[in-house]
Copies of this chain bind each other. A is one copy, B any other.
Amino acid sequence: MIGVDQEFAGKRVMITGGLGFIGSNLAHRLAGAGAKILLVDSLIPSYGGNQFNIHGIEDLVRVNIADIRDTHGVSYLVHGQDYIFNLAGQVSHLDSVEDPVTDLEINCRAQISLLEACRRRNPEVKLVFASTRQIYGRPMHLPVDENHPVKPVDPNGVNKLAGEHYHLLYSELYGLRACSLRLTNTYGPRMRACDARQTFIGLWFRQIVERQVISVFGDGTQLRDFNYIDDVVDAFLLAAASPNSVGKIYNLGGEPVSLRALAELLIELNDGGSYRLVPFPTERKAIDIGDYYGDFRKICSELGWRPKTALRDGLRGTMEYFSSYAHHYW
């Protein structure tokens, strides 16, 4: 336990979406730091929550199964927390196109309930919201900084943006200590990997571990940036611990890499495998954003965050994890 982790020793920390990919990794880290952890998760099938994600820390966390749309339940649970990491969400872009209203209920309306509950029952809490680079839509320039115009390409982006705005608004109107991190592609152990519902890279790990051919959409030249989960956990802890983050938005981000180069790197690290270029399915093409990588200088300078894990190391660690625990993930 070093640096920022000490801040959380003995603190009461609630994580919405706590059995999900990022939430559970945060929980592992915070358990090591001696925090009193409450994980709130709906375990809606296909949303990414997985009981195995807390394997090894079951006795160090309290799990409360609840949907963040449950206004009364949430209102009770926020009481007395020192920190809330607000990660629960509908995260599938395609699902949001099929059912925008459900996405709205979770990513927007439930956020209002949570914030109202904090304002009324726990106005001193520090809140960190998990936002997304999806809200920018197709970049007008690269890298994309926090002032880049927003033009979401799917309902998920619209609703996440509104959810983020509510956090900043409650900070402004009521002095609630909330901030938002705009995440880019996060990968690592405990991510949903059975299919491409959340992100293609989850499925790629499954494909490489199962010795299937990796499917790369389009010509594979599109650029993206990736953050390893440990670096993203760092960012959440720094944002929570710093008084400077209140009312702010921060991009995360990393070195841009083409999808093709990423697939090749996975194959190299795996000592074998293959990929093929496949045309974009129509429904994915409609919401694809082309090249993207984020400008993360603001969080570097204000919170001292930078990604530390080389892509190569992160991919290797993730493959090892899924090689060991595949049966819990697909």
Contact = CB atoms under 8 A, between A and B. Distances in A.
A168 B151 contact: yes
Contacts of A277: none
Interface string A126-158: 000000000000000000000101111111011
Interface string A102-138: 0010001100110010000000000000000000000
Interface stretch (A8-16, A159-167, A237-245): A159-167
Contact of A162 (B97, B159, B173): B159
B172 A155 contact: no
Nearest to A157: B165
Contacts of A161: 161-162, 165
Given A101-B112, A112-B104, A153 B172 contact: yes
Interface string A270-284: 000000000000000
A149 B162 CA distance: 14
A287 interface: yes
A240 B69 CA distance: 38
Given A101-B112, A173-B286, A173-B287, A158 B165 contact: yes
A169 interface: yes
A163 B294 CA distance: 26
A101 B109 contact: yes
A191 to B, nearest CB: 27
Give the number of copies in the complex: 2
B97 A104 contact: no
Contact of A149 (B147, B153, B155, B287): B147
Given A147-B149, A158-B165, A112 B97 contact: no
Given A108-B104, A286-B173, A158 B166 contact: yes
Interface string A80-114: 00000000000000000100110010001100110
A165 B152 contact: yes
Contacts of A166: 100, 155, 158
B173 A97 contact: yes
A38 B151 CA distance: 32
Contacts of A97: 173
A135 to B, nearest CB: 9
B165 A151 contact: yes
B286 A172 contact: yes
A161 B101 CA distance: 16
Contacts of A157: 165
Contact of A158 (B113, B153, B169): B169
Given A104-B109, A159-B162, 4 more contacts: A152-B165, A155-B169, A157-B165, A161-B161
12 contacts: A100-B112, A104-B109, A104-B112, A112-B155, A147-B149, A151-B168, A152-B165, A155-B166, A158-B162, A158-B166, A161-B161, A173-B287
